Amino acid sequence: MDGIITAVSLSATHTMAKPNQDSIFLVTGLGVQGDAHAGATVKHRSRVAQDPRQPNLRQVHLIHAELHDELRDKGFDIAAGQMGENITTRHVDLLGLPTGARLHLGAEAVVEITGLRTPCAQLDGVQPGLMRAAYDQGADGNLVRKAGVMGIVRRDGAVRVGDAIRVELPPAPHQPLAPV
């Protein structure tokens, strides 16, 4: 089953929550037009402090709507955009994708997945305990980061609620996602 986009969001300032939009425009090599995290070099403030020249592997943040469902079942009042994501998806196993997978979003846009988002303490500012709830423990005992994935824009395009998502896997062997 192809995935679907359930929400698109952006914020021109460095805020956790990003207001939902009717559509967003993805710009090759930069990210979401008008979003504070758009740029060829890193824009996340903690990473800028480390080295502002590093490439921006976090141009677009995607979260699966199924995580929002899970969090609501645990008593959190979470809506699309509140966890800082630009694109909310459904029916795509984002966390199970390999590094380099490409998501074809709508008619034109393409985002290449670079890695996992590490849940941060700012989530507790949205709702107490949200950061902890965005982690889990896998069957192998390893830590599972559930707060979505990050990517870079490989092809321009408008992205809207209701747009289809097609997954293109990279050539094997596949590398599992790691935090970026």
Structural domains in the chain, CATH included, are 3-168 (2.40.33.20)
At 47 the pLDDT is 85
Cis bond before residue 170 (omega within 30° of 0): no
For 129, the token pair is: 């305990």
Can you spell out the DSSP letters for 115-135? EEPPP-TTHHHHSTTHHHHTE
Residues 6+ apart with CB under 8 A from 23: 8, 158, 159, 160, 161
**pLDDT per residue rounded down to tens, the chain (180 residues):** 589 999 999 999 999 999 999 999 999 999 999 999 999 999 988 888 899 999 999 999 999 999 999 999 999 999 999 999 999 999 999 999 999 999 999 999 999 999 999 998 999 999 999 999 999 998 999 999 999 999 999 999 999 999 999 999 999 999 999 999
